[in-house]
Chains A and B, each alone.
Chain A
Amino acid sequence: AQRVTQPEKLLSVFKGAPVELKCNYSYSGSPELFWYVQYSRQRLQLLLRHISRESIKGFTADLNKGETSFHLKKPFAQEEDSAMYYCALSGSGNTGKLIFGQGTTLQVKP
């Protein structure tokens, strides 16, 4: 079964501290993984996707097929990073259908 698991509901760190938001997935084929972010009172927006292998706003995520993980990392958190973060999976076939994880609220304290 397709599943995305984000084990932490809330992650609270101080400004300047490293951040790692965990995401594990279950999928039998070759999935495409994404991280979406939702800032307060704003709509969901794409943060990054694994096939792009890029860094957005200082965030990176590496797909680890052996561990079926796609953890989101940032070396130095900023207060403006406070938001809800969703890990999502799209299966093979390029249908665009997304399976979302439960979401993790990142709180960056001053």
Chain B
Amino acid sequence: GAVVSQHPSWVICKSGTSVKIECRSLDFQATTMFWYRQFPKQSLMLMATSNEGSKATYEQGVEKDKFLINHASLTLSTLTVTSAHPEDSSFYICSAREPFSGELFFGEGSRLTVL
């Protein structure tokens, strides 16, 4: 099946710094990718829809200036957590939509810890 890769899988940063997480579709082109956040032992919460070549669409309650999303190519979307604080610590998961089947393929997730 199709593969979606996230990098880094684990990152620790100091409070106030910015962190970038990459999501790549390795063997297909994805005009649409999605970013989720998952708190411990909780469900995945959709943060935003990343659209290639246009602005991301954010879900209600998600700060777009805090969580910058860029989808500059058909195989790469990035999520930048700006001025990170400890409450931003979480597991971030992306998914990419395979265009022919419409099926979503998920990345392995990126764990962010803000000290």
| Binding site secondary structure of chain A | loop
Q: How many residues of A contact B (CB 8 A)?
A: 16
**Which residues of the other chain, B, contact A99 by a CB distance below 8 angstroms?**
46
> Would A44 and B32 be within 8 Å (CB), given that A86-B43, A95-B49 are in contact?
no
Q: How many residues of B contact A (CB 8 A)?
A: 20
**Interface 1/0 per residue, B53-69 and A, CB below 8 Å:** 00000000000000000
Instruction: From A43, A86, A100, name the one whose CB has the most chain B CB atoms within 10 angstroms.
Output: A43
A6 smallest CB distance to B (angstroms):
8
The CA of A95 and the CA of B95, in the complex, are separated in Å by 13
Give the nearest-CB partner of B108 in chain A.
Answer: A43
A97 and B34 form a contact (CB under 8 A): yes
A96 is an interface residue with CB less than 8 A from chain B: yes
A11 is an interface residue with CB less than 8 A from chain B: no
**Interface 1/0 per residue, B72-115 and A, CB below 8 Å:** 00000000000000000000010101000011101111000000
The CA of A74 and the CA of B1, in the complex, are separated in Å by 24
Give the nearest-CB partner of B103 in chain A.
Answer: A46
Known interface pairs A46-B103, A95-B49, A103-B42; 14 further A-B residue pairs with C-beta atoms within 8 A, sorted by A's residue number:
A43-B4, A44-B95, A96-B49, A96-B102, A97-B46, A97-B49, A98-B34, A98-B44, A100-B36, A100-B45, A100-B46, A101-B43, A102-B42, A102-B43
| 9 A-B pairs closest in CB distance | A44-B106, A100-B44, A100-B43, A96-B97, A43-B108, A102-B43, A43-B106, A103-B43, A96-B32
A residues sitting closer than 8 Å to B (CB atoms) are 42-46, 86, 94-103
26 pairs, CB–CB < 8 Å, chain A vs chain B: A42-B108, A43-B4, A43-B106, A43-B108, A43-B109, A45-B106, A86-B44, A94-B102, A96-B32, A96-B104, A97-B34, A97-B46, A98-B34, A98-B44, A98-B46, A98-B95, A98-B104, A100-B36, A100-B43, A100-B44, A100-B45, A100-B46, A101-B43, A102-B43, A103-B42, A103-B43
